[in-house]
Amino acid sequence: MEVIEGCRLPVLRRNQENEDEWPLAEILSVKDISGRKVFYVHYIDFNKRLDEWVTPERLDLKKIQFPKKEAKTPTKNGLPGSRPSSPERDLKRKLEAVSLTTQCSPATPVAPTPEIPTPVFAQQNGSVRRPVSAVAGRKRKAGCLGTDEDSQDSSDGIPSAPRMTGSLVSDRSHDDIVTRMKNIECIELGRHRLKPWYFSPYPQELTSLPVLYLCEFCLKYLKSLKCLQRHLTKCNLRHPPGNEIYRKGTISFFEIDGRKNKNYSQNLCLLAKCFLDHKTLYYDTDPFLFYVMTEYDCKGFHIVGYFSKEKESTEDYNVACILTLPPYQRRGYGKLLIEFSYELSKVEGKTGTPEKPLSDLGLLSYRSYWSQTILEILMELKSENGERPQITINEISELTSIKKEDVISTLQYLNLINYYKGQYILTLSEDIVEGHEKAMMKRHLRIDSKCLHFTPKDWSKRGKW
């Protein structure tokens, strides 16, 4: 019985509890190594980052499902809003500057909230704790794109675990077999060795190497350790190019113009694509700004993560892509990146939102940040003259720079909105309050607005940037 591409069958894998399981998987590719076949599998109900090469012993051939024969029709790689391209053809082209945009699973839709008084109060054991009135303002125009971010920052226990769908979108028609497979085995970046999660269009001649070496300061990719060592003797960078706009302790943020620093922006996008699923690589970085977070030591400023944003966004997007590199995940850096993006929005005098739809992990991280930030505002309200303290949805939005639609969707997600005696009531339960307080005690990394040195630019007056 020959196993071919497109077959589905149970495959042995070890789960997080170190137990063996046999989930259904799809064979994406078959290759021969020293006369022995190995199979690249995608576990159907799991994230693509878990895809791997397996040996024949791990296949359950008794339950194999062969693909149905269908007429093949050409498909284009891209969803609405992305630029159609053929990855196989693009891999052969000379790589140009790229920028990332996300095409991920849709976020939970937000129902419009009527414009009526909304008393907000918290109850503990049946007693009113913090009476507050909130008024929902007019619904503003919603936007659309997304982020991938480390989900483990959400230590408040409010968001649920990420869903484990393989592709993050239901429509696979835009998927190409080349882009569905990890093509880089290992990346060495400074003192870290990273195992990529997804496909990234590095030059094809580099994808067969056991290790791809990156300069951790300029992010240039090199084929060997010897080439890297020779490069380091000539590379003068010890921090990302661009302006340092924030420093507190060992944490710094650098603002990089995608037009002025195309090579760095291109290399950053290629690295990010290894850990962000369903991105479309654009060839023009000019319309984007990149904000790179670094950690400083005696050797220089080491990249921790980054987010990008459009110089001009008609939809109030303050983030296009956001990523914390795997060695720095589960340490609070993801939420720090999100907080910094909103700090910039405050200086700009705008409310912002990440491009939607968000990925599952991105939605998880943002919901956690929105929940903590909004609960922080509500719990600090004090009553005056014995009356319920009043706050509107618009006021919450202005205080936090979180777009009004995101404020409303977060309140709905937390199940705080109730209708009582003709009014909309927000009820902060004891569990919510205790969970929030515990989460804030663990959140040690915060942005200090006094350390931010940032002057917004009016890009509309700058012609072609």
Q: Could you identify the residue written with the tokens 């500057």?
A: 97
C-beta pairs of 441-444 under 8 Å, 24+ apart in sequence: 442/155, 443/155, 443/332, 443/335, 443/372, 444/332
Q: Could you identify the residue written with the tokens 């984007």?
A: 288
Give me 129's structure tokens: 């704790």
How far apart are the C-alpha atoms of 266 and 17, rounded to whole Å?
A: 38
Compute CA distances 182 → 55, 128, 210, 445, whole Å.
17, 54, 13, 33
Helix/strand/coil for 150: coil
C-beta pairs of 281-285 under 8 Å, 24+ apart in sequence: 281/90, 281/98, 281/99, 281/100, 281/201, 282/83, 282/98, 282/99, 282/100, 282/101, 283/96, 283/97, 283/98, 284/97, 284/99, 285/97, 285/98, 285/99, 285/258, 285/259
Does 398 participate in catalysis according to the annotation? no
How far apart are the C-alpha atoms of 371 and 351, rounded to whole Å?
A: 16
Q: Which amino acid is at 69?
A: K
Share of the chain residues as helix, strand and coil, in percent rounded to the nearest 5: 25, 25, 45
The catalytically annotated residue of 17, 355, 387, 437 is: 355
C-beta pairs of 410-416 under 8 Å, 24+ apart in sequence: 410/367, 410/370, 410/371, 410/374, 411/374, 412/110, 412/111, 413/108, 413/367, 413/371, 414/158, 414/371, 416/120
Q: How many CB atoms lie within 10 A of CB 114?
A: 9
Compute CA distances 364 → 335, 359, 429, whole Å.
11, 8, 21
List, by residue number, the catalytic residues: 355
